Structure 1
Amino acid sequence: MLLVAAVSAGCSPTSAEPEPGATGSPSAATSATSHTSETGPAASGSATPARPWSIVALGDSVPAGNACGCTPYPELTGQDLAAPPDRKVTVTNDAVSGYTTTDVLAQLQTDATVSDKVRSADIVEIEIGANDVGYSDSCGDAVSCYAPTVPEVEKNLGTIVSLVRQLTAGRQVLIVLLDYWSVWLGGQYAAAQGDAYVASAAEVTDQVNTVIASTADRTGSAYVDLRAAFKGPDYSYDETHYLAPDGDHPNATGHQQIASATVAVIRSALHLDPTGKS
């Protein structure tokens, strides 16, 4: 991201050892696709290691890392947060390609493996909503055809956050909601589809991102503005540099950009300095 990230603070930890915000959630389908990684200090002498953190990522093909062949941003986020304090960070990536808000909601309600991971998480990263309004031949460039789905995205996303908070009741957990640079193709790939496509993609993206930002504000979650991260504060930058050849997903550079923006928001929400200390 071009380091333009908005923060809507959740729970603010007050102890000397910062703990993430507050959240809750239940689950559905294919937890077999989840991936857990650990990053932490090598055995070393002196300083007492910071308290371990657990990060769970939920969402669609973007956090899942589709079309990249690289390390997805949730794992990169964990790596960044593990250094400099000697903190062990475990990342479980339960994002699934093709998922909509309905799918994540069902995942939390029916998949005990996922809900158990969320229950013990310190940070829950959620990026979902693009597939709800995915481009279709039947709707084409008609924004009005996609608009009726947006309220459902808002309702489902709010319920997802509520479920995460229920699962983590009594614990301090930070929920991080990430939006999209484009819910359809981006950069030069979008431009190749024509001006009408570009204009409609921007408008539908506006609608979905507004829902994500307002949900973060309403629920006390942190918010990462990926559109600004990829396209700059005035959305004028050509984000093709960050995209995989399919034009729809981030490449390795894009995932690094998302991770940088997400870590900046997490550090701000938890009042961490660049060394990871409060």
Structure 2
Amino acid sequence: MVVTLGDSVPAGTACDCTPFPDLYAHRASPGATSINLAEPGFDTTDVQEQLDAGDVRADIRAANVVILMAGANDMAAAFDSGDDYPATARSVRTTVSSIVDTVRREHSGPVEVLVLGYWNVVADGAVGLSTYGPDGLAEARQATRDCNDALRQAAESSGATYLDTSVAFTGDPTGLLAADGDHPNAAGHRAIADLLEKQWPFRPA
């Protein structure tokens, strides 16, 4: 069973399609169950608090794989307000490490935890360029690098595996994004599922 925690990206917001966690689970094993607990608007603290719920912990205990994709909303808030990216990234790192530790403590047996990074923490492609301009889009990419560094460090320190999804969105990502420029479209979700299938060696039963 695959259990997914996170924000609007794994939740499939603005896509009207099957989101990548479900695609991945069903490709890995046709009979695999995918429980997608990701929620639009969630930041890392929201995910941490979500783990207090008894039904969520029960799902975690039954999981073979836990996918975690959170942190974009933390960094997007810093981007919008002009706050310090490194300070926000440190908070993301601490909270994500705590989430992974909680998952491992809650699980009665071995569980694979995969932490996913982002191609951009705000709108990208043609929408991002129109909204922020070249300088603003460059600034957004710096915020994204800080976020991804924090997620990678959190994964390394907690024994999870980090996967950089930006490699699926190289060049102009417009064709992989929904009309809002902020979330993957069906092709984008397939691209992330392809990346998971190619790079993630675990196959859930």
- TM-score bin (small chain): over 0.9
Aligned to 2:182: 248
CA shift, 1:220, in A, is 2.2
How do residues 82-101 of structure 1 correspond to structure 2 at under 5 angstroms?
A: 82-83=29-30, 88-101=31-44
Distance verdict in 2 for CA 1:175–1:138, change over 3 Å: closer
**Among the aligned pairs, what percent are the same residue?**
36
Superimposed CA distance per residue, residues 16-53 of structure 1 (whole angstroms, 9 cap, x where no aligned partner): xxxxxxxxxxxxxxxxxxxxxxxxxxxxxxxxxxxxxx
CA shift, 1:138, in A, is 5.9
Aligned 8 A contact 2:42 2:70 in 1: yes
For residues 145 and 223 of structure 1, the distance between their equivalents in structure 2, rounded to whole angstroms, comes to: 24
Which one scores higher on RCO, CA 8 angstroms, separation ≥ 6? Answer: 1
2:99 to 150, 160, 180: 160
Aligned 8 A contact 2:26 2:33 in 1: no
Query: What is the total number of aligned residue pairs between the two structures?
Result: 204
For residues 137 and 154 of structure 1, the distance between their equivalents in structure 2, rounded to whole angstroms, comes to: 17
Aligned to 1:114: 56
Alignment pair present for 1:229 and 2:176? no
Larger Rg: 1 or 2? 1
1:215 to 137, 143, 154: 154
Superimposed CA distance per residue, residues 132-173 of structure 1 (whole angstroms, 9 cap, x where no aligned partner): 12157862xx4x54432211111100000000000114x111
Could you say what secondary structure the match of 1:63 adopts?
helix
Could you say what secondary structure the match of 1:89 adopts?
coil
Alignment pair present for 1:55 and 2:28? no
How do residues 1-278 of structure 1 correspond to structure 2 at under 5 angstroms?
A: 54-83=1-30, 88-109=31-52, 111-135=53-77, 139=81, 142=82, 145-169=84-108, 171-192=109-130, 193-231=132-170, 237-267=171-201, 270=202
Could you say what secondary structure the match of 2:33 adopts?
strand
CA shift, 1:81, in A, is 0.3
Unaligned runs of 5+ in 1: 1-53, 232-236
Q: Which amino acid aligns with 2:119?
A: W
Distance verdict in 2 for CA 1:106–1:224, change over 3 Å: same
Aligned 8 A contact 1:135 1:184 in 2: no
- Mean Cα displacement is larger for which, 72-81 or 146-155? 146-155
Could you say what secondary structure the match of 1:134 adopts?
helix
The runs of at least 4 aligned residues of structure 1 exceeding 6 Å deviation read none
Superimposed CA distance per residue, residues 230-250 of structure 1 (whole angstroms, 9 cap, x where no aligned partner): 11xxxxx11111100000000
CA shift, 1:254, in A, is 0.3
Aligned 8 A contact 1:222 1:265 in 2: no
CA shift, 1:191, in A, is 1.4
Unaligned runs of 5+ in 2: none
Aligned 8 A contact 2:79 2:143 in 1: no
For residues 256 and 217 of structure 1, the distance between their equivalents in structure 2, rounded to whole angstroms, comes to: 26
The structure whose residues are more often helix, as a share, is 2
Taking structure 2 as the reference length, what is the TM-score of the superposition?
0.93
For residues 102 and 121 of structure 2, the distance between their equivalents in structure 1, rounded to whole angstroms, comes to: 25
For residues 187 and 38 of structure 2, the distance between their equivalents in structure 1, rounded to whole angstroms, comes to: 19
Could you say what secondary structure the match of 1:176 adopts?
strand
Taking structure 1 as the reference length, what is the TM-score of the superposition?
0.70
Aligned 8 A contact 1:226 1:258 in 2: yes
How well do the aligned residues superpose, as a CA RMSD in angstroms? 1.8
Q: Which amino acid aligns with 1:60?
A: D
Could you say what secondary structure the match of 1:213 adopts?
helix
